[in-house]
Every structure is written in C-alpha cells, then in structure tokens.
Amino acid sequence: MDQHQPLQPSSIEPAPAFQLQPVKRKRAGAEAAGIGAVILALLAKLKTVLFFLAQFKWLLILGKFALTGGSLLLSIWAWALYFGWPFAAGFVILIFVHEMGHVIALRVRGIKSGWPVFIPLMGAFVNMHEMPRDAKTEAEVGIAGPLLGALGGFGAYLIGTYTHNQFWYALASLTFVVNLFNLIPVVPLDGGRVVAALSPKMWLVGIALLIGVFLLRPGPGLLFAGLLIALTIPRIVAAFRRDLAADPYYQIAPRDRALIAVQYFALAAFLAVMWTVAGHAVRVAG
C-alpha cells in the first residue's frame, strides 16, 4: 500500500513504512539520550571544576585571614616577652584597631586592599592593591588609622578611670604615643601621607623631628629612624626638584587642604595631651 494514499476503512493494517517508524524513534531517542548523557557528563565536570574553584577561592580567603591572624598571634607572643601576655594582647589589639581605620577608609572609597599584616616588635601594615586617585584621598586614608587608634586608646583610658587600674592607663599611654609617632610627617608613616596633601616639602620637617626624637631617646630605635629617613630623602629631593603643585595628583582645593590641616594638627595635639594625661595617671595609680 502506498503510504501517501489515504487509508480505506477495510485497510487497517499498517504499511511497512509505518512499521519502520518506531525503530527510527528508538534510534533517535537513543541518540538524544546519548547526547543528553554527554551534556550531563560535561555539566557534572563543569560543576566539579566550579566547586574546586570555589573551594580555592575560600582557601585564598582563609589564607588571608590566616596571615592576619597568624601574624597577630606572633606579634602578641613577641611583645609578651617584654610586657607579659595580657598587656601584649591589649596592645596588639589596639594596633589592629588602628590598622582597621585604614581598611575602613579604603573600602569606603572603593580602593581595594588586603587585611592588616603584623610585623612582630614593629607594628603592622595594610597592603593597598591600587593607589588613591589623589593626595586628598591618600591623606584621608592616612589619618583614618591614627584617628581610630586614638579612639581605641581613649577607650582604654576611660576603662582606667572607671577601674582605677594602672594596666589600662599604661595601655592607653602607649597607644597614644604610638599613634602620635605615626603622625610624624615622613614616609611611609601615616603623617607623611597626610602632609603630602598640604605640601610634600613638609617631609623635611618630619626628618628633623625624627632625628630630634631619637637623639633625645637614643637606642635601638635609631636603626628604624635611619630606615625611615632613607625612605623619605628621595621623595624630598623629588619634591624640591620639580613643581609638585602642577602635578594633578597634588592639586587640592584650598578648603580641602585647610580641613586636612585642621584634622592633622588637632589629632596630633589630642594625642600629645592624652599621652601626658595617661602617663600621669599611670604614676598616680602606681
């Protein structure tokens, strides 16, 4: 029977062509199933790869936290050799507060950065993954550390006034002086980043202050002072050789420059006064 002709009422047997169709459908179904299996296998492999990459990402994140946490604990251990565990832990935590001031300021301004990394018996630093867009932004990020650090030290001082415990006064006093030291206008201290928005030539004043500090209190710190001076001198030479005022990076509105100056000198004065007050409280409580 011709399959293209309409079926007669009495012709109810399927034509041979119709008998072949189920076979074709099975074959097509098998091919579709095979393709589907391949796709599923590829998806499974892709899922496995993505899962592995996700775990790798988490490993990187955990590695960053491990670096911060590990260096923090190592720093506590190093300071504990001199101050004992409780004081060392409090001091390093307040250093962490200082560094988080930088981290928060960077994140608020959309600047990518790492987490604080501690250097035993030295301090800590935050690695910026990109540079600020101008000296004003760099100054704001630079002053954020000592500002939050000052608040942390003031919190310790308030606990001391409540408990009359010499421990908290001493912790506050050390925190104030460390943050004040960080405001010395030399690179790479925070003060060097702040005064760059005022005038990079102020780094020369910072060198004079640094030399004065360590001549009055000679000791192992002279090596650290020498390192800071060595890092700052090339920047000072560059500042005097060319007109940085014409550099777009240092072009700041007078109002912004004045605001940065007020914040910088006011914070330095607050830290100096509170260092004196907390030091006096240590002697009275002792």
285 Cα distance to chain centroid: 37
* pLDDT of 2 higher than 80: no
Q: Residue 7 has what pLDDT?
A: 35
Q: What is the per-residue pLDDT across 52-66, written as a single tens digit (0 to 9) for each? A: 444 444 444 445 566
Could you tell me which residues are beta bridge partners of residue 118? 124
Is the Cβ–Cβ distance between 260 and 198 less than 8 Å?
yes
CA 188, 194, 199: angle at the middle one, nearest 5?
100
Q: What is the pLDDT of residue 172?
A: 97
Check pLDDT > 60 for residue 173.
Answer: yes
Domain spans of the chain? 18-285
CB 113, CB 129: distance < 8 Å: yes
Identify whether the C-beta of residue 118 lies closer than 8 Å to the C-beta of residue 239. no
pTM of the shown model? 0.75
> In this structure, are residues 240 and 205 in contact, taking their beta carbons and an 8 Å threshold?
no
Q: How far is the C-alpha of 267 from the C-alpha of 179, rounded, in Å?
A: 10
Residue with tokens 């004196």: 276
Alpha carbon separation from 86 to 35, 216, 231 (Å, rounded): 66, 30, 34
